Amino acid sequence: MKAITIKGSERESVGKVATKALRNAGLVPCVLYGGNQTVHFSAEIAAFRNLIYTPNAHTVAIDLGENKYEAVLQDLQVHPVTDQILHVDFFQLFDDKEVTIEIPVKITGTSPGVLAGGILTLNTRKLKVKALPKNLPDTIEANISELQMGNKLYVTKLASDDYKLLHPDNTVVAQVRISRAAMKAAQEAAKLAKAPAAKGKKK
């Protein structure tokens, strides 16, 4: 999985006054959990642009000068009106410890059902997985090349030895719905098929 570097500095004071002062200075207060001790730090708002405003999943390389950590985004708080980033929580990664993270779904292949006039619906855009950091994928590919009209692609088809999918087996990832045009065409075809049979009975 690709990593994004965020450079910051450790915080000496974590009170409300200090936190407000950080935000007024254009900095975001952050907390890193999961290690031997909780780490409080701050970073510039611009540092989070490529991490937050993207559909992709990333690990984070936190650079605090002398101390460096590998982590994943755990929680994010934004202002309800201005959308300003108020606080960010990270979870520290270790090579030998599994981590849970949401991974975006990437559609691959061409569905015969779509070619026949069906409508592809992506029911689940992200899937929660549990894996060692080295096995975290950038995306989870969902191959729709076998989906006929009316078919569904379940999460069980996306299983991998590298990670565990944390969803019920009946979770639908994608499906091909029958469009109104296709349904109307099928109804018309059914009427035409019945018409000769009806005429034959009258004779």
CATH of the domain at 16: 2.40.240.10
| Domain around 106 | 101-180
Can you list the alpha helix ranges (DSSP code H) found in 85-169?
A: 112-115
Scored b (16 or more CB within 10 A) or e, 122-157 reads: eebeebebebebebbbebbebbbeebebebebebee
CA separation (Å) from 53 to 48, 103, 184?
8, 15, 41
Mean per-residue pLDDT over the chain, rounded: 88
27-41, 43-57, 81-95, 171-185, range with the lowest pLDDT: 171-185
Query: Which residues neighbour 96 within 8 Å (Cβ) at sequence distance 6 or greater?
Result: 132
70-94: per-residue pLDDT in tens?
999 999 998 888 888 999 999 999 9
User: What pLDDT is attached to residue 84?
Assistant: 86
DSSP annotation of 15 reads S
Could you tell me if residue 131 is inside a domain? yes
Q: Is-contact 137 153, C-beta < 8 A?
A: no
Question: Is a pLDDT exceeding 80 seen at residue 195?
Answer: no
The CATH number that applies at residue 173 is: 2.170.120.20
- Comparing CA positions, the residue from 164, 172, 31 lying closest to residue 100 is 164
- Comparing CA positions, the residue from 117, 113, 122 lying closest to residue 141 is 122
The dihedral formed by the CA atoms of 72, 64, 68 and 98, expressed in degrees to the nearest 10: -20
Q: Are residues 7 and 89 in the same domain?
A: yes
Q: Are residues 17 and 88 in the same domain?
A: yes
Whole-angstrom distance, CA of residue 119 vs CA of residue 177: 5
Strands 152-154 and 172-177, how do they pair? Answer: antiparallel
**Which among 93, 113, 129 is the end of a domain?**
93
Number of domains comprising the chain = 2
Q: Are residues 81 and 15 in the same domain?
A: yes
Mean pLDDT of the 194-198 span: 60
Q: Are residues 27 and 81 in the same domain?
A: yes
| Single-letter amino acid, residue 109 | G
141-177: per-residue pLDDT in tens?
999 999 998 899 999 999 999 999 999 999 999 999 9
